C-alpha cells in the first residue's frame, strides 16, 4: 500500500514539474501614473530643482554615477550623453530609467514619483528638450 501511495505521490510531483516548466514570465507591464503636463516646462526652473533634490545626491548622479545631473552639467550630460530623444520622447533613456523600464525605477529607493518628475521630463523632451 505504501509503495502505491509513494508511486502516486511521485507521479503527481512529476506532473506538477511539467506544468510548472510551461509557465514563464515573458513581459513586465509597467504602468506610468504620471500626470500629463500641458504647460511649458523650463529646464532650469522645473527640471533642475527636481534633479538636484532627487538625483544629484551623494553616491548617485552628483558626479559619482553617469550621467552627472548636478545643476551645472545636467543639461549637457542628458542631451550630449544620448539620454534624450526628441524624435521618440517615450523611448528616451532618461525616461525609460525614470519609469523603471531599464532596471530599477529612478530615483532609486523612491516608492513613488516625486513631484511628477516622469511627467515633467517627458513633457520637456516632447517640447524639444530646450535649455531654457
Q: What is the pLDDT of residue 130?
A: 97
More confident residue, 6 or 74: 74
Residue range 60-83: average pLDDT? 90
The residue to which cell 554615477 is assigned: 65
* 119 dihedral zone (left: phi>0; alpha: psi -120 to 50; beta): alpha
Checking if the pLDDT of 42 tops 70, the result is yes
Give the pLDDT band (50/70/90) at residue 99. confident
- Pick the range with the lowest mean pLDDT from 13-22, 49-58, 88-97, 120-129: 13-22
Residue 91: per-residue pLDDT? 95
Angle at CA of residue 52, ends 55 and 112, nearest 5° = 50
The CA-based diameter of the chain, rounded to the nearest angstrom, is: 81
pTM above 0.75, yes or no: no
pLDDT value at position 124?
96
**In this model, does residue 21 exceed pLDDT 80?**
no
Backbone dihedral region for residue 82 (phi beyond 0: left; psi -120 to 50: alpha; all else: beta): left
Give the residue, 103 or 96, on which the prediction is more confident.
96
Amino acid at each position: 500500500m505504501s509503495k502505491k501511495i509513494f508511486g502516486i505521490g511521485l507521479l503527481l510531483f512529476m506532473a506538477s514539474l511539467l506544468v510548472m516548466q510551461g509557465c514563464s514570465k515573458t513581459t513586465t507591464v509597467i504602468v506610468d501614473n504620471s500626470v500629463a503636463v500641458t504647460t511649458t516646462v523650463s529646464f532650469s526652473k522645473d527640471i533642475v530643482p527636481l534633479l538636484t533634490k532627487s538625483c544629484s545626491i551623494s553616491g548617485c548622479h552628483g558626479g559619482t554615477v553617469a550621467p552627472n545631473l548636478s545643476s551645472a552639467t545636467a543639461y549637457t550630460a542628458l542631451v550630449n550623453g544620448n539620454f534624450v530623444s526628441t524624435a521618440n520622447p517615450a523611448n528616451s533613456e532618461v525616461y525609460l530609467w525614470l519609469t523603471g523600464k531599464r532596471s530599477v525605477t529612478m530615483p532609486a529607493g523612491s516608492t513613488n514619483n516625486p513631484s511628477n518628475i516622469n511627467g515633467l521630463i517627458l513633457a520637456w523632451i516632447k517640447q524639444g528638450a530646450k535649455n531654457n
